[in-house]
Amino acid sequence: MAAQPFTTLVASDAAGAPTQISAKVTVAAKAMDTAEPKRDENMRKAMKVTEHPWIIAEIDAAVSEVSQDGKTPATLPMKLKLLGKEQSVQGRISQWKLVGKKATFDLDFDVSLKASGIEVPSVLLFIRVGDAVKVHASVTLTQP
Residue 2 lies in a domain: no
What DSSP string runs through 57-123? EEEEEEHHHH-SSSSS--EEEEEEEETTEEEEEEEEEEEEEEETTEEEEEEEEEEEHHHHT---PPB
Which is more confidently placed, 126 or 16?
A: 16
The answer, yes or no, to whether residue 133 has pLDDT greater than 50, is yes
Q: Provide the CATH number for the domain around residue 42.
A: 2.40.128.110
Residue 3 lies in a domain: no
Q: How many domains does the chain have?
A: 1
Predicted structure pTM score: 0.82
| Domain housing 64 | 8-142
The answer, yes or no, to whether residue 8 has pLDDT greater than 70, is yes
Once rounded to an integer, what is the mean pLDDT over residues 85-114?
A: 92
Helices and strands, number each (H, E), in the chain:
3, 7
What confidence score (pLDDT) does residue 124 get? Answer: 47
What confidence score (pLDDT) does residue 65 get? Answer: 93
Residue 69 lies in a domain: yes
Residues 31 and 1: beta-carbon distance below 8 Å: yes
Digit-coded pLDDT (tens) for 102-116: 999 999 999 888 888
Residues 11 and 28: beta-carbon distance below 8 Å: no
What confidence score (pLDDT) does residue 126 get? Answer: 52
Residue 66 lies in a domain: yes
Digit-coded pLDDT (tens) for 21-69: 999 999 999 988 888 888 888 888 888 999 999 999 999 999 999 998 8
